């Protein structure tokens, strides 16, 4: 069971092992207003629907305005539309809905690696072999990547697209995450890697779709930073 923004639904007060809880984005509509678990939401994509067009769909059975897809489904559909079949990841609580969404779709080849730079190597090899791919990671994992980006993805002109779930800001409870997060954008800027911060659901499809296309067209790596404003992030449960 996921909420509107793709976060697993948990009873109030339920925490994970780290003593934290994934929370929905502020302003999430109450379930009474929009039934986000309606069967149509989870139906497989058909030609002409959102996966093809990126546009919200009118619900045929009600007069309600179209329900926006949760962020994880928007990302999945943009990946599929642009033929990015390989999804490598180093897991993270915030990324969990996206990992589960692509794992449930046989279009994708999805697996975990032991390190982020290993995943960048795998995606680089796959792209040279004709298969497009992405790496999902957390901010702290991105901090392990400057060497592989500077020695492989950038100079060899390989479009490795990185999705980074942003820790270290907007309610961070771990000082190490807060510190290492500040290295991320300066590293991306220093290597002249295209990057965008995704904080709004209504802009997400456009940003992901165009970034994937540009990475391929310009043969350049890119990073999409998934803000807590989009995903709900991860906060300490006091």
Partner 1 sequence: MSPPAAPSCLTNAKSMYRADITRRLVRLLDREEAVIGGIGNTNFDLWAAGRRPQNFYMLGSMGLACPIALGVAIAQPQRHVFALEGDGSLLMQLGSLATIAARAPKNLTIVVMDNAAYQITGAQPTATAFAADLVEAARGLGITRSNWAADEEDFERLVQVARNEGGPTLIGVRLDNQPPAGQTERDPAQIRDRFMRGIGTKPPHPT
d(Cα 196, Cα 84) in Å, to the nearest integer?
A: 19
Minimum separation from the CB atom of position 99 to partner 1 (A): 16
Q: Which is nearer to partner 1, 79 or 181 (CB)?
A: 79
Minimum separation from the CB atom of position 81 to partner 1 (A): 19
Strand pairing partners for 133? 86
Minimum separation from the CB atom of position 72 to partner 1 (A): 23
* Residue 128 contacts residue 173 (beta carbons within 8 Å): no
Residues, the chain: 238
Phi and psi, residue 49, nearest 5°: -90, -165
Q: Which is nearer to partner 1, 57 or 157 (CB)?
A: 157
Q: Using CB under 8 A, list all residues that contact partner 1.
A: 86, 109, 111-115, 117-131, 133, 147-148, 150-152, 155-158
Minimum separation from the CB atom of position 233 to partner 1 (A): 28
Q: Which is nearer to partner 1, 132 or 234 (CB)?
A: 132
d(Cα 46, Cα 50) in Å, to the nearest integer?
A: 8
For the residues of 43-84, what is the DSSP string, one character each?
A: SPP-TTSHHHH------TT--SPPPPPPHHHHHHHHHHHTTE
Minimum separation from the CB atom of position 218 to partner 1 (A): 13
Q: Which is nearer to partner 1, 178 or 216 (CB)?
A: 216
Q: Which is nearer to partner 1, 156 or 236 (CB)?
A: 156
d(Cα 178, Cα 166) in Å, to the nearest integer?
A: 10
Helix (H/G/I), strand (E/B), else coil: 188: helix
């Amino acid at each position: 069971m996921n909420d509107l923004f793709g976060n697993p639904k948990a009873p109030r007060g339920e925490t994970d092992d780290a003593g934290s809880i994934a929370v929905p984005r502020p302003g999430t509509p109450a379930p009474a207003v929009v039934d986000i678990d309606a069967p149509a939401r989870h139906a497989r994509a058909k030609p002409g629907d959102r996966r093809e067009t990126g546009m919200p769909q009118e619900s045929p059975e009600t007069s309600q305005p179209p329900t926006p897809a949760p962020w994880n489904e928007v990302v999945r559909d943009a990946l599929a539309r642009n033929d990015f079949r390989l999804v490598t990841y180093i897991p993270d609580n915030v990324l969990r809905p996206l990992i589960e969404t692509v794992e449930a779709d046989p279009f994708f080849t999805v697996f975990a690696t032991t390190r982020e730079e290993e995943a960048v190597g795998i995606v680089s090899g796959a792209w040279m072999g004709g298969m497009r791919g992405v790496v999902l990671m957390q901010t702290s994992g991105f901090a392990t990547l400057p060497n592989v980006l500077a020695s492989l993805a950038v100079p060899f002109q390989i479009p490795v697209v990185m999705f980074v779930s942003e820790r270290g800001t907007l309610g961070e409870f771990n000082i190490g995450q807060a510190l290492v997060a500040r290295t991320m954008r300066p590293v991306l800027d220093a290597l002249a890697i295209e990057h965008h911060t995704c904080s709004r659901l209504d802009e997400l499809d456009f940003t992901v779709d165009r970034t994937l296309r540009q990475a391929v067209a310009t043969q350049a790596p890119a990073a999409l930073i998934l803000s807590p404003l989009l995903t709900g992030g991860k906060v300490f449960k006091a």
